Chains A and B, each alone.
Chain A
Amino acid sequence: MKLSHGVVGAWAASNLVLALVHLAFRPRPLPFFIYIGGSAVVAGFGLAVLLAMRAGHDGPQRRQPRRASAAVVAALGAAMGLTGFAYGWWLSVLGVYLLGVAAWRVRGERLRPGARPWPVALGDAQPADRPALVYHGSSIGTAVPVPADHPAHGPPPPAPPAPEPSATVRRGILLVLLVSAARAIVNVLKGRR
């Protein structure tokens, strides 16, 4: 599991190295700082991953929101707000109202404390089993056989008959090999002279 933030960290570090190599070519300041900035953003993401892991937020997420209507309204508000750039800032003010509506609606989507740790239904579905319980892998938990009707037990695909190269192809391959060998011998002989 530790590899998670390691991947991000190593990737950001390799970008940092490439940015430092860039220094040897005397770049203008802006490209250099853009590169450093981009690497820093990724490093920040890696740090967030590390902190989340230390806070125990890794593993399957069991608490789920019921709906995302606030997200829809918020996106429309953001779109309207930015479109004010083209049609006038009054539109941006309307967008702020929509963001307010989204903030108000998001409260209803939050989980109440009593809902933990089982997932609340997504949309219209019933609550699912805890994902941790349905795992029967090798690292934790108790392994049980995969049910007989599980698709993994399906028959392997029938092996297609191995295609035989036609006589023409065989002759062609032989011809190419002979010509190549002849050319190689000629080249060797020329080289000796």
Chain B
Amino acid sequence: MTATADRPAPVEPVASPGGEPGSIVGWLASTDHKRIGLLTLGTALVMMVVAGGLALTIRTQLAQPQLHVLTNDRYDQFFTIHGSLMIYMVMTPFAIGMGLYLVPLQIGAPNVAAPRTTMFSFWLYVTGAVVMLSGFFTDSGAADHGWYAYPPLATGRFTPGQGVDLWIVGVALTGLGMLIMAGTVLWTALLKRAPGVTMLRLPVFSWSVVASNLMVIGAFPSLLAAVGILAIGRVRPDLFTHNAWNIGYQDVFWFFGHPVVYVMFFPYVGAIAEVIATFAGRKFFGYKFFVVSQLLFAALSMSVWGHHMFTTGQSSNYYFSLTSIALVIPAGIEYFDLLATLVGGRLRFPTAMLFGLAFIPQFLIGGLTGIMAGTPALDYQIQDSYFLVAHWHYTLAAGSLFGLFAAVYFWFPKATGRMLREGLGKAHFWLWFVGTNLTFLPMFWLGFHGMPRRIPTYLPADGFTTENLISSIGAALLGLGAMVFIVNVAESLGRPRYAGADPWQGHTLEWATSSPPPTFNFSARYPIPPVHSYAPLLDLRREREQVRSAVE
């Protein structure tokens, strides 16, 4: 049997396609998982630019005491929409979108399961983002209650106007979209694998997507329930003043709100694992331990949401502290595997590897301070302080965002067939490495010195000036780095340097096909190679080397 085995022609002629190859309709109504994935990733990156612009404005206001770049109301709207965009519209969709693009390729499937449903989910996401941002054009302005919209502040009684309503609709649309998209990708990973690609031959990245999407299936319905409760509370504010739903909302919301942190983490860890294994030139160390730890990590992370509610006095603090601290066990295994993969490897240091390596210590800072925040005695002290802002940003910005860029630099040649410029990439990396630590490290000190989060300004006598200035300078470096990245993408698309099918000597199946891959991912020219492990292309290379050395 060959790849081009004779077979009868289809009895039904192919109907006219929905659009020309490169047409807008061809993209926007596509059923190709790669196009839907790229649309999702591209939208997330655009949203990141918007959210970054909001953050830079916030940091400008805080650079010196008593600056008034924004009014107090507008400041509240900016930090609310910054947080909401980054969580609902950037990190989560990008994580799930990466899975959508890569999982079918890594498992040898021709497409995602239910591609039309997947496209439906993408459009829910886009419309959700537009609806949320449209709040800025209402009389009341955008939502200004923080990204978790606690009642009674977010009810119609205390925050009237359409901004909050639009926020609720936007979150509901995007949440539903991401739930559906994660479901189709998980279904694909579990059921649509090519023969021979068993579950224990799934690449590390695909496993991270499986673990992450399991959490989405379990937790995202809770988000829809939470915004539903909030919507009812907008119409009937007494819901939150006369019964248990005031605290109940927090339970329902955080049952989504903590797992989503790991949804915004696992796929990036999986991406970094692929990057590190590839550029170390060896198989990922401790594969089975990593898989089990990911699943254990995911399961435990469903049981820690109450640590966001320690100070309410309504949470089982002992239980949630125990489960939160237990997270260090699977996290430690993952860290050990990442470091052990590096040891003894033939290391190369392109931009993707630099981002991957920087992730390791930076996320460690976020993780260890998370253990502090997961300890009730400490959490009572640091609640609502800048310490938590620092911890959170070390987790998501210094951690997951570095994973995001590692993934972008690693898979950009596969998705576009073009190489990003290494020089610009390294400039981006160093600006971000310095900028990230300059921005977020001083926030730990600000927290210790008592600066509360979400205040629009402060007095010179407060003693917050120096750290805030350093932080704002770091934010400017981040903005500069982001511009370098945009220039890099524009340069690579405008004056392409074409990538081969496998520019990095990758390990997984997506590197066996062309760049960009054909419509159904693999073809007669680029067939699926034999799959004996989770690194089939590395196996092939080693077999070839063994044969050659035996001949010699």
Measured between beta carbons, the chain B residues less than 8 angstroms from A146 are 527, 529-530, 540
Chain A residues 65 to 113 lying within 8 A of chain B, measured CB to CB, are 65-72, 74-76, 78-79, 82-83, 85-87, 106, 109, 112
* Chain B 324-352 near chain A by CB (<8 Å), digits 1 or 0: 00000000000000000000001110000
User: Could you tell me the distance between the alpha carbons of A135 and B5 in the complex, rounded to whole angstroms?
Assistant: 11
Q: Does B267 contact A (CB under 8 A)?
A: no
Chain B residues 305 to 334 lying within 8 A of chain A, measured CB to CB, are 306, 314-316, 318-319, 323
Whether the Cβ atoms of A152 and B502 lie closer than 8 Å is yes
* The residue from A11, A79, A140 contacting B127, defined by CB atoms under 8 A apart: A79
Nearest Cβ on chain B to A97's Cβ, whole angstroms: 16
Q: Which of A34-42, A167-175, A176-184, A185-193 contacts B (4 or more CB under 8 A)?
A: A34-42
Whether the Cβ atoms of A71 and B183 lie closer than 8 Å is no
Beyond A38-B218, A45-B183, A74-B120, is A69–B1 a contact (Cβ under 8 Å)?
Answer: no
* Chain A 132-163 near chain B by CB (<8 Å), digits 1 or 0: 11111111111110110011111011011000
Whether the Cβ atoms of A66 and B15 lie closer than 8 Å is yes
Beyond A38-B219, A49-B187, A83-B131, is A131–B346 a contact (Cβ under 8 Å)?
Answer: no
Whether the Cβ atoms of A125 and B169 lie closer than 8 Å is no
Measured between beta carbons, the chain A residues less than 8 angstroms from B303 are 15, 18-19, 22, 35
Chain B residues 168 to 204 lying within 8 A of chain A, measured CB to CB, are 168-169, 172-173, 176-177, 183, 186-187, 190-200
Beyond A11-B214, A122-B111, A127-B14, is A53–B191 a contact (Cβ under 8 Å)?
Answer: yes
* Chain B 232-264 near chain A by CB (<8 Å), digits 1 or 0: 000000000000100010011001000000000
User: Could you tell me the distance between the alpha carbons of A65 and B177 in the complex, rounded to whole angstroms?
Assistant: 20
User: Could you tell me the distance between the alpha carbons of A14 and B466 in the complex, rounded to whole angstroms?
Assistant: 48
Beyond A35-B303, A137-B530, is A60–B115 a contact (Cβ under 8 Å)?
Answer: no
Q: Which residue on A lies nearest to B17, using beta carbons?
A: A124
* The residue from A7, A85, A87, A152 contacting B295, defined by CB atoms under 8 A apart: A7
Whether the Cβ atoms of B21 and A124 lie closer than 8 Å is yes
Q: Does A114 contact B (CB under 8 A)?
A: yes
Measured between beta carbons, the chain B residues less than 8 angstroms from A135 are 108, 194-196, 527-528
Whether the Cβ atoms of B128 and A79 lie closer than 8 Å is yes
Whether the Cβ atoms of A71 and B511 lie closer than 8 Å is no
Q: Which of B66-74, B85-93, B436-444, B515-523 contacts A (4 or more CB under 8 A)?
A: B515-523
* The residue from B130, B222, B298, B541 contacting A156, defined by CB atoms under 8 A apart: B541
Q: Does B489 contact A (CB under 8 A)?
A: no
Measured between beta carbons, the chain B residues less than 8 angstroms from A130 are 7
Q: Which residue on A lies nearest to B113, using beta carbons?
A: A61
Whether the Cβ atoms of A25 and B316 lie closer than 8 Å is yes
User: Could you tell me the distance between the alpha carbons of A128 and B7 in the complex, rounded to whole angstroms?
Assistant: 12
Q: Which of B25-33, B371-379, B457-465, B473-481 contacts A (4 or more CB under 8 A)?
A: B25-33
Whether the Cβ atoms of B190 and A137 lie closer than 8 Å is no
Q: Does B146 contact A (CB under 8 A)?
A: no
Nearest Cβ on chain A to B149's Cβ, whole angstroms: 14
* The residue from B29, B193, B194 contacting A71, defined by CB atoms under 8 A apart: B29
Beyond A86-B166, A146-B529, is A64–B110 a contact (Cβ under 8 Å)?
Answer: yes
The interface size of chain A toward B, counting residues with CB under 8 Å, comes to 101
Whether the Cβ atoms of A79 and B196 lie closer than 8 Å is no
Measured between beta carbons, the chain A residues less than 8 angstroms from B197 are 137
User: Could you tell me the distance between the alpha carbons of A21 and B537 in the complex, rounded to whole angstroms?
Assistant: 44
Beyond A3-B198, A18-B299, A135-B528, is A79–B124 a contact (Cβ under 8 Å)?
Answer: yes
Measured between beta carbons, the chain A residues less than 8 angstroms from B537 are 152
Whether the Cβ atoms of B218 and A78 lie closer than 8 Å is no
Whether the Cβ atoms of A38 and B222 lie closer than 8 Å is yes
Whether the Cβ atoms of A4 and B221 lie closer than 8 Å is no
Beyond A61-B111, A157-B281, is A30–B251 a contact (Cβ under 8 Å)?
Answer: yes
Additional A-B contact list (14), CB under 8 Å, known A82-B169, A131-B110: A4-B191, A38-B302, A59-B194, A71-B29, A78-B173, A85-B231, A109-B116, A115-B11, A123-B30, A128-B518, A129-B520, A144-B1, A157-B281, A160-B348
The chain B residues found within 8 Å of chain A, CB to CB, are: 1-5, 7, 10-12, 14-15, 17-21, 25-26, 28-32, 35, 108-111, 113, 115-117, 119-124, 126-128, 130-131, 162, 165-166, 168-169, 172-173, 176-177, 183, 186-187, 190-200, 210, 214, 217-219, 221-222, 231, 244, 248, 251-252, 255, 281, 295-296, 298-300, 302-303, 306, 314-316, 318-319, 323, 346-348, 500-502, 505, 511-512, 518-520, 522-532, 537, 540-541, 544-545
Write 28 A-B pairs (CB below 8 A) sorted by A numbering.
A5-B190, A11-B298, A28-B251, A30-B248, A49-B190, A58-B193, A59-B191, A60-B108, A64-B111, A68-B18, A68-B29, A75-B122, A78-B124, A79-B169, A118-B10, A122-B115, A124-B26, A125-B518, A127-B14, A128-B523, A133-B1, A134-B527, A137-B530, A139-B196, A152-B529, A154-B500, A157-B281, A160-B346
